[in-house]
Amino acid sequence: MNDANKGRRAPGPESVIRADIRALRAYPVQHAEGMVKLDAMENPFALPRWLREQIGDAVRDAELNRYPDPHAPELKARLREVMAIPENCDILLGNGSDEIIAMVIHAAAAPGAVILSPVPTFVMYGMSSAIAKARFVGVPIAADFSLDEHAMAAAMEEHRPAVVFVSYPNNPTGNLFAEDALARLIERAPGLVVIDEAYQTFARRSFMPRLREFPNLMVMRTVSKLGLAGLRLGYAAARPEWIREIDKVRGPYNVGVLTQRVAGKVLEHHAVLEEQAVTLVAERKRLEHELAALSGVHPYPSEANFILARVRDAQAVFEGLKDRGVLIRTLHGSHPLLEQCVRFTVGTPEENSLLMRAMRDTLQGL
CB closer to ligand PLP, 186 vs 228:
228
- Contact between 165 and 101 (Cβ < 8 Å): yes
Contacting range for ligand PLP; rule: CB under 6 A; set: 1-9, 93-101, 321-329, 343-351 = 93-101
- Residue 98 touching ligand PLP (CB under 6 A): yes
| DSSP characters over 20-54 | HHHT--PPP----TTSEE-SS----PPPPHHHHHH
Using CB under 6 A, pick the residue from 76, 78, 92, 196 that binds ligand PLP: 196
| DSSP characters over 239-256 | -HHHHHHHGGGS-TT-S-
Using CB under 6 A, pick the residue from 200, 222, 259, 260 that binds ligand PLP: 222
Cα angle for residues 225, 227, 233 (degrees, 5° grid): 70
Contacting range for ligand PLP; rule: CB under 6 A; set: 9-17, 71-79, 96-104, 292-300 = 96-104
Contacting range for ligand PLP; rule: CB under 6 A; set: 90-98, 176-184, 207-215, 335-343 = 90-98
| Those residues with Cβ within 8 angstroms of residue 67's Cβ, 6 or more apart along the chain or in another chain | 252, 253
- Residue 174 touching ligand PLP (CB under 6 A): no
Using CB under 6 A, pick the residue from 85, 93, 97, 182 that binds ligand PLP: 97
| Those residues with Cβ within 8 angstroms of residue 63's Cβ, 6 or more apart along the chain or in another chain | 257
The least CB distance from residue 219 to ligand PLP, in Å, is 12
Burial-class residue 42 by CB neighbours within 10 Å (0-12, 13-18, 19+): middle
- Residue 96 touching ligand PLP (CB under 6 A): yes
Instruction: Look at residues 58, 97, 73 and name the one whose alpha carbon lies nearest to residue 228.
Output: 97
The least CB distance from residue 172 to ligand PLP, in Å, is 8
Contacting range for ligand PLP; rule: CB under 6 A; set: 9-17, 92-100, 181-189, 295-303 = 92-100
CB atoms within 10 A of CB 210: 16
Beta bridge partners of 118: 139
How many chain residues are in contact with ligand PLP, going by CB under 6 A? 13
- Residue 43 touching ligand PLP (CB under 6 A): no
CB atoms within 10 A of CB 181: 15
The residue whose Cβ lies closest to ligand PLP is 96
- Contact between 254 and 113 (Cβ < 8 Å): no
| Those residues with Cβ within 8 angstroms of residue 205's Cβ, 6 or more apart along the chain or in another chain | 168, 176, 179, 303
Query: CA dihedral defined by 273, 276, 280, 286, rounded to 10 degrees?
Result: 160
Pick out residues in 151-170 that bind ligand PLP (CB under 6 A).
167
- Residue 345 touching ligand PLP (CB under 6 A): no
- Residue 122 touching ligand PLP (CB under 6 A): yes
| DSSP characters over 102-156 | HHHHHHH--TT-EEEEEES--HHHHHHHHHTTPEEEEEEPPTTS---HHHHHHHH
Pick out residues in 48-87 that bind ligand PLP (CB under 6 A).
none
Using CB under 6 A, pick the residue from 224, 276, 302, 340 that binds ligand PLP: 224
- Residue 198 touching ligand PLP (CB under 6 A): yes
- Residue 352 touching ligand PLP (CB under 6 A): no
- Residue 305 touching ligand PLP (CB under 6 A): no
- Residue 234 touching ligand PLP (CB under 6 A): yes
The least CB distance from residue 63 to ligand PLP, in Å, is 25
Residues near ligand PLP (CB under 6 A) are 41, 96-98, 122, 167, 171, 196, 198, 222, 224, 229, 234
